[in-house]
Structure formats: structure tokens, C-alpha cells
Structure 1
Amino acid sequence: MFSRRSLLASFHVPLSSRSIATISMAPLLIRPSELNNLLKEKQDVAILDATWFMPNVPRNGYEEFLQKRIPGAHFLDLDKVASSHPLGLKHMMPSERAFADACESFGIKPSSHVVLYDTHGIFSSPRALFMFRTFGHSNSSVLDGGLPIWESESNSVENGPPPEAEKAEYPTPRLDHGSIRDYDQISKNASLDPAVAELVLDARSRGRYLGVDPEPRPGLSSGHMPNSVSLPFNVFLEQKTGPGANTFPVFKAAPDIQKALEDAVGQDRASRIIKGELPVVTSCGSGMTAGILWLGLKLLGAPQTAVYDESWTGYAMRPTSKIEKN
């Protein structure tokens, strides 16, 4: 078992004493104090609000962004910065050029430290981080606790349309295809012997995984794919309380994330996942909260971690998919 101190140090690295220009990879998570230090030092920082809501939630991320945001932030619409999909699925990974064009529109250069947050605390920002890291932009982080923790520590916010960003130049990057799985790969994996298959970690609720609760998307069967294990994304998170008893999620300490992983897959498989001996793929309803599991595993140092981009929606929409229940 890792020591709490060494694991926390591995993903909450203070930035104030180091120059971003000399850092090849930013910490996965940062705190408001660290973001403030970056801004005070006039570092090349780009702040993006990556808020996204489930389709059955009557809220609009951009409208709320206009009402309240971290100063200097721009809005990253994950459904717009996405590739088209034959099944009409949203927020799929964009093409290499589309990603570069989006970065240019936000004034982001390859050297920029991109800080991503959402208004939930932790929900959609890990998916945005997955996108940046998979395109090789390692100088990127998630603000752990998002806008709620920013406000809870008495930091200022602003509203209204943000000033237009000064357009930057961003060369076309290269997508790390090893970090993404498509339907053909997942379908073949579902047919393999468990001893040789990649393990799929399903971030949906256990009821949806077992097929006893309905999916939020009408007409879509619940259940799960073969060679998968239920690991609801919220087991990697804990609730913090801000002013006025407002609660919001943040990532648990690394030992607690590891314990949640062990509870789901067993100590032996958890150890093999962390060492990179057992490749895993994270999945959810549509590829959004799979990012939370991906980030939690990265915090543990698990190197062989990919995301099934379509996730359950793309899998269950196809009549030839093998679906298990219970």
C-alpha cells in the first residue's frame, strides 16, 4: 500500500516555485491557491469552463457561465468541440485539426498551462482533461472542486460575455490512439476469454449496470458488456462543504481511491492495474464520467488506461452488441 504522503505529493504538486516553461507535464489536479499563484506570476495560463449537464437536466452550461465564472475563463463546449458520429452521439473526441482550431480560438498555445473546471465541482472537467492529454497537451490540469471550491475560498468571480481571446497558433497535434477504444475494439473484447481481455470499468450506477434501473436516454437498454466491472464514478469522489452548507464533490485522497478500486475489482487486479500489468478501459453512459475514472486511475499512476469514447450509449444502440444483466 502506498503511503498517503507520497501519493498526495504525486498529484498535488505546488507550482509557485517552478517555471511553467521548464515543466514537461503539469499536475493532474491543482488547488485554487495554485491557480492564483500561476495568475499572479503572469504565467501563460488558459482557464476553461468545461461544464456539461446530462440530457435530462434542464440547465445550460453556457448560460450559467455568463452568470458566474472564474475571471479570465472561456467556455469549452464539449458537444461543439467534437467529431460527428454516425449514431449522432455527442462530445466524441474531435479530429486533430478541430482540437487545434479550438485551442487557437481560446488563445491557447502548445506551451500554455490549461486549467479546466466545471460548476459541479468534479463532473465533466476530467473528460476535458482527457481530451487535452490524449492530444499530447500535457501542460493541463483540473481545478479540483471547480467553481464551488474557488468561491468557497473567497476568490472573485465575474459575469457577462468574456473578452475575445487573442488568437494563437496551435500546430496540428497527434492523437494518442492507444488511449481510446472504439466499438469494434470493445465488441471484440467482449467476446474474449476474461483471462486475456481488457477489463472494462463501468462508471454508471450499479442499478443501470445490473439492468434493473432504466437508462436516462429513452429506449436504450440497461445492463452491461461482457468483461466489465461496476465501478460507479462517485466512489472516487467525496463531498466537501462550503459556505452556506453548499456541498460539492472533489477527488478522494489517493489511498481512498485505491481502496474503492480494490473493493470493485479485488486487491490482486487493482495492484496489476496500478502497475500497468492489466490494461483497463473506462466507460460510462456517453463517455463523460468515464473521464472521472480515467483521472482517478491516473492519480494512482495506472499507465494502461483508455476510454471507450462512445461508452454504453454507442454500445447498446447496436442490435448486435452482447448485453448481460445481473
Structure 2
Amino acid sequence: MKNPILSVDELNEILANENIIILDCSTESNKAGLQSDFEKIKIKGARYFDLKNDFRDSESIFPNTLPNPEQFQINSRKLGINDSSKIILYDNLGVYHSPRVWWMFKIMGHKDVSVLNGGLPEWIKRKFPTQQEYDLEFNEGNFKSDFQYYMISDLNFIKQNLENDEILVIDARNSKRFNSLEPEPRKNLRSGNIPNSINIPFEKVLNNGKFKEPENLKLVFKNINATSTKLIFSCGSGVTACIVYLASELVLENKKSLYDGSWTEWGTLEKI
């Protein structure tokens, strides 16, 4: 498997490679309330990945729902993405939305996609090349979706496996939300957690906007059975769960999937 994260130094060394496609996955807002100091700066050669419009299921009642493979394929081709492209993902918060997009490309079958560790803040810190606008001139790509069903889990699957010791749901929300000590940021969404799930807040796998070193990530996941448990990652709406998902990919061999509806779906449809 190709390394799912890339350092800014590594990207700078290959920046001139014509097969590289750099995608900015930043959004205008987030439920964690994080803000960027670099709203108008882009990495040299970056194109914009519109997570909130082009790459979500607009017919779903839940936010951030994965689009169908055809929609994903069409809009990926519009960005000039080929099956052979080396895709580098970043956001302006360091690491936040980019792991979600990494998971999306992986579930759609792309073979070579990495998250830029530290994102735009780390890139600017190192004074690597930037620009003010996105690149808009490129040929249409030939990327073809090849949906990987094992990388996603739905509400019914989780309900059927609540008592299954081989299935573990990991919730990436902060501990106060997980333990119903503070309200959900989404209006009219009840508090709580999925029965038998455990809490690993996404901040626990990061250090100053970058993923922790593998030896430290192993400590975060130390209580997880690394040989027999399938891990299902959840959060509020399927975004920060992907941060913990990607962190686990760096140190664990478990089978993994994402509960895309996450607590927004569970808290709406499932009754106490």
C-alpha cells in the first residue's frame, strides 16, 4: 500500500511532476469551530475539491453523505483526475477535511492518494511555493470509480452487530459530546453515543495539525485488539472520523470501515 500521508518536504521535491494533482479540500466552516489564518493562499498548482457541493449526496437529509460512484467519477474527471494520477490532498487547518477526501478516493478505488501532513499551515511555515488563485486550466480526466464496499458500514449493519465482540465502533467526537456532557452542534440532534462504542477524539491522533508519530499513535490505539476486531469509525457526520481512520491505517492491520451517517443519522433515527 502506498503511504497515505506525505510530508511537505516530499511534496516540494516532486511539485513539478506532471502526474501530480494537488487538491485543496478546505471548507468555509466546520463543526469543531476551527478557523484558518490562510483563507486566500493556495499551494502552487492546487485545484479546489468542493466537498460541500460537488462531492456530497445533495438528496440525503444528512450532511456530508458520500455521493454515488457515478457522481464522484464525473466530478473527479472535471478536476482532471486520471486513474494514474498521484493525488495529494490538503486543507487550510492542517489536517481536518483532507482525510475525509482520502477515504472518498480510496472507497472509489483510486490507488494513489495521500494526505499532506500539516496541510497548508505547514507548507507556508516552510516557505514553499504558493499562489493566490486555484489552477483552472486542465484537461478532463479519465478516472473510473471502482466502489470498495468493505470500506463503508450502514446503520443496519451496526445495529445487527452491537453485541458482536469482533466489531468495534470508534467515535471521534470530543469526550463531552460522546458522554452527553455538552449538546450536539446540530440543532435538534439528541446527545449520546452508539452502544458499546469507544471514544477516541480526533485531536488525540494529532499534534499541532499533523499526525502523531507511529509510536505515539500506537499508544492511542493500545487497548484495541489488533488481530481480530473490525473497526468502524464514526463521529458527528463522517468527517473527523476519517482523521482517526487514517491514523489507525498508519499503525493497525485491522479491517476498517466508516459509518458514513455517524451520530447525525444514529441520533436522529435510533431511539433510546
1:141 lines up with 2:111 in the alignment = no
CA distance in 2, matches of 1:29, 1:205: 24
In structure 2, the CA distance between the partners of 1:136 and 1:161, relative to structure 1 (3 Å rule), is: closer
Letter in 2 for 1:233: F
Query: Are the counterparts in 2 of residues 200 and 281 from structure 1 also a CA contact under 8 Å?
Result: yes
CA distance in 1, matches of 2:149, 2:237: 19
Paired position in structure 2 for 1:228: 197
Q: Which runs of structure 2 are paired with 1:11-26 in the superposition (5 Å)?
A: 25-26=1-2
Paired position in structure 2 for 1:189: 161
Residue in structure 1 matching 2:42, options 41, 66, 69: 69
Cα offset for 1:260? 1.1
Paired position in structure 1 for 2:168: 199
Paired position in structure 2 for 1:245: none
Letter in 2 for 1:254: P
In structure 2, the CA distance between the partners of 1:60 and 1:175, relative to structure 1 (3 Å rule), is: farther
Cα offset for 1:194? 4.5
In structure 2, the CA distance between the partners of 1:99 and 1:143, relative to structure 1 (3 Å rule), is: same
Residue in structure 1 matching 2:257, options 296, 303, 306: 306
Q: Any idea what the Cα deviations from partners look like across 1:273-321, whole Å, max 9, x if unmatched?
A: 3x3x110100000000000111011001424011000100011011xx1
Letter in 2 for 1:159: Q
1:180 lines up with 2:152 in the alignment = yes
Query: Are the counterparts in 2 of residues 127 and 291 from structure 1 also a CA contact under 8 Å?
Result: yes
What is the TM-score normalised by the length of structure 1?
0.78
Query: Are the counterparts in 1 of residues 46 and 134 from structure 2 also a CA contact under 8 Å?
Result: no
Residue in structure 2 matching 1:112, options 75, 82, 85: 85
Cα offset for 1:226? 0.7
Residue in structure 2 matching 1:158, options 131, 144, 148: 131
Q: Tell me, which stretches of 5 or more residues in structure 2 are unaligned? A: none
Cα offset for 1:184? 1.4
1:45 lines up with 2:45 in the alignment = no
Query: Are the counterparts in 2 of residues 79 and 92 from structure 1 also a CA contact under 8 Å?
Result: no
Letter in 1 for 2:266: Y
Q: Which runs of structure 2 are paired with 1:235-250 in the superposition (5 Å)?
A: 235-239=204-208, 249-250=209-210
Query: Are the counterparts in 1 of residues 45 and 134 from structure 2 also a CA contact under 8 Å?
Result: no
Cα offset for 1:170? 2.2
The alignment yields a C-alpha RMSD, in angstroms, of: 2.1
Query: Are the counterparts in 2 of residues 194 and 227 from structure 1 also a CA contact under 8 Å?
Result: no
Letter in 1 for 2:173: R
Residue in structure 1 matching 2:73, options 100, 113, 118: 100
Paired position in structure 1 for 2:219: 259
Paired position in structure 2 for 1:283: 234
% same residue:
31
Name the larger-Rg structure. 1
1:83 lines up with 2:34 in the alignment = no
Q: Tell me, which stretches of 5 or more residues in structure 1 are unaligned? A: 1-24, 240-248
Q: Any idea what the Cα deviations from partners look like across 1:136-156, whole Å, max 9, x if unmatched?
A: 112000000000000011112
Letter in 2 for 1:289: T
Paired position in structure 1 for 2:102: 129
In structure 2, the CA distance between the partners of 1:212 and 1:220, relative to structure 1 (3 Å rule), is: same
Query: Are the counterparts in 2 of residues 189 and 227 from structure 1 also a CA contact under 8 Å?
Result: no
CA distance in 1, matches of 2:140, 2:51: 19
Query: Are the counterparts in 2 of residues 26 and 113 from structure 1 also a CA contact under 8 Å?
Result: no
CA distance in 1, matches of 2:266, 2:36: 27
Partner SS for 2:21: strand
Letter in 2 for 1:186: I
Q: As a proportion of its length, which structure holds more helix?
A: 1
CA distance in 1, matches of 2:43, 2:106: 22
Q: Any idea what the Cα deviations from partners look like across 1:26-74, whole Å, max 9, x if unmatched?
A: 311111121122223x24000000113325859799x93xx21001111
Letter in 1 for 2:147: L
In structure 2, the CA distance between the partners of 1:237 and 1:73, relative to structure 1 (3 Å rule), is: same
Partner SS for 2:131: coil
CA distance in 1, matches of 2:93, 2:110: 24
Query: Are the counterparts in 1 of residues 24 and 47 from structure 2 also a CA contact under 8 Å?
Result: yes
Letter in 1 for 2:195: P
* Count of residues in correspondence between the two structures: 270
Letter in 2 for 1:35: L
Paired position in structure 1 for 2:244: 293
